[in-house]
Amino acid sequence: MKSLPIFLDLQGRTALLVGGGAAALPKARLLRAAGAELRLVAAAPDDDFRSWAAGQPVTLAERPFQEGDLDGARIVIAAASDDENRAVVEAATARQVPVNVVDRPELSSFLMPAIVDRDDVVVAISTHGSAPVLARRLRRTLEALLPARLGPLAAFARRYRGALAAAVGDPTARRRFWEAFFDGPIARDLLAGEDAEAGARMLTEINAPGWRRAPRGRVALVGAGPGDPELLTLKALRLLQDAEVVVYDKLVGPEILDYARRDAERIYVGKAPGRHSHSQAEINEILLREAGAGKRVVRLKGGDPFVFGRGGEEVERLLRHGIEVEMVPGITAATGCAAVAGIPLTHRDHASAVTFVSGQGKEGAPDLDWAALASSRHTLAVYMGVASSEKLSRELIAHGRNPETPVAVIERGSLPEERKVFGTLRGLGALIAEEKIEAPALIVIGEVVRLAAEAPRGATADLALAAAE
């Protein structure tokens, strides 16, 4: 974030606008709409500007800018000639008055956003001056999406804030009341203009006994996908934005955490082979502690919570203690990373089955049914297999898998720093060592890999789609 978005109260405050041409008139209208006492200075205002000012409760001085024009001004906007604009900036800076120069962000101490106005609800959009046309396009999109009666809805809520505070003392319970209200039938009716009985219904809701009880906690086990935040499910996004506590692991990047509520507590419990910040038992106790304190907790796991994520152990522990649990699947690494690498996990000509395998057992390398996994028409997607790659290769070949079976190793799949390398089952360990592959990485073994390995650079996604049809 390059600048801090804030909203400035200009009701009854003096705002200075220097300039009187086509660029100045929209700013004058905006300042008046914000309730400012508007002081206009323009050496040569055009007819449209002069006509507008004549019909408004504003003062217009038809002369060049003078330093004294800043007396008492809360903000100033300059939309005059370059020389006059620079004089305004110099004088405003000396007096520490915020100044904006129209279309000159490098001279401005604050930027004017594109605005969606719904009375009490105002949305401001900024590109930090880099792309004003883009900001206007975003505004147009939001104008179409946001209900016209958002302002009356917000005003209705404001009228009942005091009544709710008097009836419900716990601030967490009050916040949850408002979250339920804006998702509920009263708000929907208000947005539709059907508000005749809204006041009586609101008082009934406020006085319902449930809001006086201590808030109950709950846990949502949420799959964060392979890393790309755009692969989050809509449900995962909603729960993140409602969470009071987010407990997250090593595979969850900051881009995904940015979708959580800004005031949510974040607890890192990342684990890597041989380097655990918290044991599984400690993670279970953290979830119990936070939910037991009445908080809404999101346990955020890379991939899918129930695919090598130990989500089942956490659910079992929580349910045993009477904690409400919700499970939200995520795109697991095998499907997500293989897709972005252009590898179809099954294919009519090459693979009629796919198996997800953990390359890490409870005591290190896994003890697997190697004979069953060695079938030639069988894709293997190996999680956490970097350290055990030599054993994987050796055991599969010993149980009949062709040593020349193609393999792909996908490091940090779906992320901007994604790297994929190709080789054969015989050379899997050497490939990982030579390429200095580090976890997290997914290993895909099977003839389907050949489809991506032999594709032209940049064509793997198209090839995977065609192969799946």
Is residue 403 within 8 Å of residue 419, measured between CB atoms? no
Selected catalytic residue, list 117, 235, 250, 271: 271
Query: What letter would DSSP give residue 56?
Result: S
User: For the stretch 10-34, what's the b/e string if a residue is b when 16 or more beta carbons lie within 10 angstroms of its beta carbon?
Assistant: beebbbbbbbbbeebbebbebbbeb
Decide if 436 is catalytic.
no
Nearest Cα to 71, choosing from 55, 82, 59?
Answer: 59
Decide if 271 is catalytic.
yes
Selected catalytic residue, list 249, 295, 301, 304: 249
Nearest Cα to 211, choosing from 149, 252, 257, 163?
Answer: 163
DSSP string for residues in 339-399: HHTT--S-BTTTBSEEEEEES-BTTBS----HHHHT-TTEEEEEES-STTHHHHHHHHHHT
Residue 99: C-alpha distances to residues 26, 60, 267, 292 (Å): 16, 19, 41, 50
The Cα 48–Cα 46 span in angstroms is 6
The Cα 210–Cα 187 span in angstroms is 19
Sheet with 419-424, strands from edge to edge, namely 353-358, 378-383, 441-445, 406-411, 419-424
Q: Which residues are catalytic?
A: 249, 271
